[in-house]
Amino acid sequence: MPQVAFTTLGCKVNQFETEVMEGLFKAGGYEVVDFDERADIYVINTCSVTNLGEKKSRQLIRRANRQNPNAIIAVAGCYSQVSPDQVAKIPGVDVIVGTQDRGRIVELVEEVANTSRKVKINAVTDIMQAKEFEDIPLFSIPGRTRAFLKIQEGCTNFCTYCIIPYARGPLRSRSLPSIAAETAKLVAAGFTEIVLTGIHLGAYGRDLTHGSKAVTLVDAVQTVLSAGGNGLLRLRLGSLESVEVSDRLIALMQTDQRLCPHLHLPLQSGDDRVLKAMNRHYTTEQYQALITGIKTSVPGIAITTDIIAGFPGETDEMFESTLAFVNKMDFARIHIFPYSRRTGTPAAGFAGQVPEQEKKRRAQSLQQIADRQTEEFHKSFIGQKLDVLFETTEAAGIVSGLTGNYIRVYTDTIQDSFGQIRSVKLERLYQDGLWGISV
């Protein structure tokens, strides 16, 4: 049986797409092995969000070629999409697939194999012309406690720092019947939690109609909850733009306990001048009003976010505005990224590029606030009982898992709990989360 190995860089959407490609190879009679092993085929699913992501992609391609110079190497994903000519020049690359046509990955690899590697296939097409969601079902079920379900592709926000709209193309949404079918399959396989993912998840449905009605993310959420039935205990949402959080979505979170009280809403900056330069479509006042309203409607909800430190043109005064704004927001978790100058984006040519050391300093200042706010969020639940989906075995009999509002909980009072949801009383801070006991 021929062996194929995979590796993935980047976001949860990329992880899901790798799982889809793994399933296609398994259905074709291939054995999936670890990327560190000598394989007949290597598939590298690349990232292009930063120049560093592209560098890591090239390193992984070269590593695969060293492990087995006779292997067929297929490169897929965002780096392939935006720079197929660069990828083609890397020694050992045989197949290049972008962010579309991944359903043909096995066919393309076998075409190279049948010609004794005398041809190199570049299957990258103009992603801006893509019209339909590439609906590839999962042919094999990943061995995890929660399952990712991709329902949306593409982005049209065109933030000035981001290459993704050029790598992923226009908005395309998965049909509601397809979402229902995949949900039923995942629940039947034993998954109790599903995470909806997409490149621009909040834009789901803008390209669809259902009868004469417009389709929105809420329709997708309701479809999953209905198709999942009693077997689906949790539904979690991937990253959303704050301006796309609707009253209907919050109302559903209030009425259906399966919809996790956790929203990841990227802020990116706490200064309106920087937000405008980023081409973000909200002000800090609007963002704060939304978060305040959500927290009032859904007590205990976790609001997590992303912030970029050192965006071009961000002065000391602007950064101080960000610090002051973040200080009063009480996020559950903050992901902080020093600005990365991405070739091909408008911001790469902006004046006022911030020196690397200053970006690191600003990121460290933000991290101090982030650490404090996460600790305070965790402390607010000490003494309470929350349901935990256990997924990881730690050392010395300790297991861990996540609450619905995304707190990692550790305990040694529960055994044989993998994939199960148990009630836990939270007692104290522990590592990156809380320690609890079974109740």
Average pLDDT rounded to a whole number, residues 359-380: 98
Same domain as 133, residue 121: no
pLDDT number for residue 321 = 98
Same domain as 27, residue 110: yes
Same domain as 141, residue 77: no
Same domain as 255, residue 132: yes
Same domain as 174, residue 118: no
* Structural domain range at position 170: 128-260
Domain boundary among 72, 102, 125: 125
- CB within 8 Å of 343: residues ≥ 6 apart: 51
Number of structural domains in the chain: 4
Same domain as 222, residue 138: yes
In tens, the pLDDT along 224-279 reads: 999 999 999 999 999 999 999 999 999 999 999 999 999 999 999 999 999 999 99
| Full strand arrangement of the beta sheet holding 302-309 | 262-264, 302-309, 333-338
Count how many Cα atoms sit within 13 Å of the Cα of residue 57 in the half-sphere of its side chain. Answer: 33
In tens, the pLDDT along 115-163 reads: 876 678 999 999 999 999 998 887 777 667 789 999 999 999 999 999 9
Residue 198 lies in a domain: yes
Nearest residue to 227 via CA among 174, 171, 300, 302: 174
In tens, the pLDDT along 108-128 reads: 999 999 987 667 899 999 999
Same domain as 114, residue 9: yes
Residue 421 lies in a domain: yes
pLDDT over 90 (residue 36): yes
pLDDT over 80 (residue 296): yes
Q: Which token pair is 183?
A: 């949900």
Same domain as 402, residue 364: no
Question: How far is it, in rounded angstroms, from Cα 14 to Cα 161?
Answer: 20
What's the pLDDT band for 395 if we cut at 50, 70, 90? confident
Same domain as 113, residue 149: no
Q: What is the CATH number of the domain that holds 195?
A: 3.30.750.210
Domain boundary among 85, 109, 125: 125
Q: Is the pTM of this model over 0.85?
A: yes
pLDDT number for residue 135 = 87
Helix/strand/coil (H/E/C) assignment for every residue in the chain: CCEEEEEECCCHHHHHHHHHHHHHHHHCCCEEECCCCCCCEEEEEECCCCHHHHHHHHHHHHHHHHHCCCCEEEEEEHHHHHCHHHHHCCCCEEEECCCCCHHHHHHHHHHHHHCCCCCCEECCCCHHHCCCCCCCCCCCCCCCCEEEEEEEECCCCCCCCCCHHHHHCCCEECCHHHHHHHHHHHHHCCCCEEEEEECCHHHCCCCCEECCEECCHHHHHHHHHHHHHHHCCEEEECCCCHHHCCHHHHHHHHHCCCECCEEECCCECCCHHHHHHHCCCCCHHHHHHHHHHHHHHCCCCEEEEEEEECCCCCCHHHHHHHHHHHHCCCCCEEEEEECCCCCCCHHHHCCCCCCHHHHHHHHHHHHHHHHHHHHHHHHCCCCCEEEEEEEEECHHHCEEEEECCCCEEEECCCCCCCCCEEEEEEEEEECCEEEEEEC
